[in-house]
Structure 1
Amino acid sequence: MRCGRPPDCGFVLIGMLMLVMLSGLVMAQASMRWHTQVLREREAELIKVGLAYRDAIGRYYNQTPGVVKTFPPTLEALQEDSRFPTARRHLRKPYVDPITQREGWGIVEAPSGGIMGIYSLSDKPPFKTKGYRGELQHLNDKRYYGEWYFVYLPQPLGLNTSGM
């Protein structure tokens, strides 16, 4: 590109510099929004996976043959429960922690033995810290994902939960 006079070249250069700066700011803003969206999606996935493990532990516990109920000895037992003539699957596959993007979970051990829950091994702060209700209200005011526990708590005998 040629300019007519030397002073015009300075204005073109400043205009181009402003255009580059403005596009950089727009790209930075878009990057921040994308990062926020990714965090929200991973957080939602952690809740979905955590509840899947909690429910699978509950099925394992409630389907224990006999009177004395037991928790699964390992997370692998949720995928192939060999306590029956034909193995049962309480969980289709092992899930990766959506926050750390790695296999492996923190384990909440039951007082009587076995696994009664899981939690993320991440020390990152959650994106959403308030506004959870119902079965997720225990996630409110937690400082990091490692405090998000997904635990199956057996209901005491004779407790009618149909009205809740």
Structure 2
Amino acid sequence: MRRGERFRTRAGSRGYGLVAVLVLVALTAFGLSVAAQSWSDAARRDKEQQLLRVGVLYVQALERYRRSSPGTDKRLPQELDELLVDQRFVGTVRHLRRLYPDPVGATGRWGVVRGDDGRIRGVHSLSEEEPLIAGAVRRPGLRLEPARRYSDWKFVVDTDV
């Protein structure tokens, strides 16, 4: 073999390997971006469903608190902490195991819906993001009108019952 002969390539194959690698990298990047978007949508959908579940839990806890009020004066709590340990009874009464965070909000804190008497009637998310569910939400124990933001969904106790 003469000097420099080993680095020679055939005239028809110059540069095609590099092009093939670049095309492969581009296709892989495109595939990963599609997968990442799909994963992001699935995670957001899951958080939205969790928001609906936790909202219903708060409504149920508020309703139990009101229904279990001693006597004929059925009241709602002044603070959400009262759902954890109800001090109106001698024994320990819990309407929630813990204060669940807002799954779609940045801080995890809930906005509170108060009635005319200043007592808590419900909760709502503080998130200004647009829900994935475009229409009304109808589930057992839950009726929400179409909303432009998560903060428009109010999880409140029906006090007319």
TM-score, normalising length from structure 1?
0.87
Kindly state the Cα deviation for residue 133 of structure 1 after the two structures are TM-superposed.
2.4
Q: Is the 8 A contact 1:71 1:110 kept in 2?
A: no
Kindly state the Cα deviation for residue 6 of structure 1 after the two structures are TM-superposed.
5.8
CA distance in 2, matches of 1:49, 1:5: 67
CA distance in 2, matches of 1:154, 1:131: 21
Paired position in structure 2 for 1:39: 44
Paired position in structure 2 for 1:117: 122
Equivalent residue in structure 2 for 1:12, among 6, 9, 17: 17
The runs of 5 or more residues in structure 2 that have no matched partner are 1-6
Give, as a single letter, the amino acid of the residue that structure 1 aligns with 2:28.
S
Find out whether 1:86 has 2:118 as its counterpart.
no
Residue identity (%): 33
Find out whether 1:74 has 2:76 as its counterpart.
no
Equivalent residue in structure 1 for 2:144, among 138, 147, 151: 138
The runs of 5 or more residues in structure 1 that have no matched partner are 157-164
Q: Is the 8 A contact 1:71 1:113 kept in 2?
A: no
Paired position in structure 2 for 1:129: 134
Kindly state the Cα deviation for residue 87 of structure 1 after the two structures are TM-superposed.
2.3
CA distance in 2, matches of 1:6, 1:128: 59
Find out whether 1:149 has 2:154 as its counterpart.
yes
What is the aligned length? 154
CA distance in 1, matches of 2:150, 2:8: 58
CA distance in 1, matches of 2:127, 2:44: 13
Pair 1:86–1:3, CA change in 2 (3 A): farther
Q: CA RMSD in A?
A: 1.8
Find out whether 1:58 has 2:63 as its counterpart.
yes
CA distance in 2, matches of 1:132, 1:154: 20
Pair 1:65–1:3, CA change in 2 (3 A): farther
Kindly state the Cα deviation for residue 113 of structure 1 after the two structures are TM-superposed.
2.6
Deviates more, 1:96-105 or 1:28-37: 96-105
Kindly state the Cα deviation for residue 95 of structure 1 after the two structures are TM-superposed.
0.7
Find out whether 1:49 has 2:54 as its counterpart.
yes
**Which entry has the higher C-alpha Rg, 1 or 2?**
2
* Cα deviation 1:66-118 (Å, max 9, x = unaligned): 11111111000000001001121000001111002533210000122310100
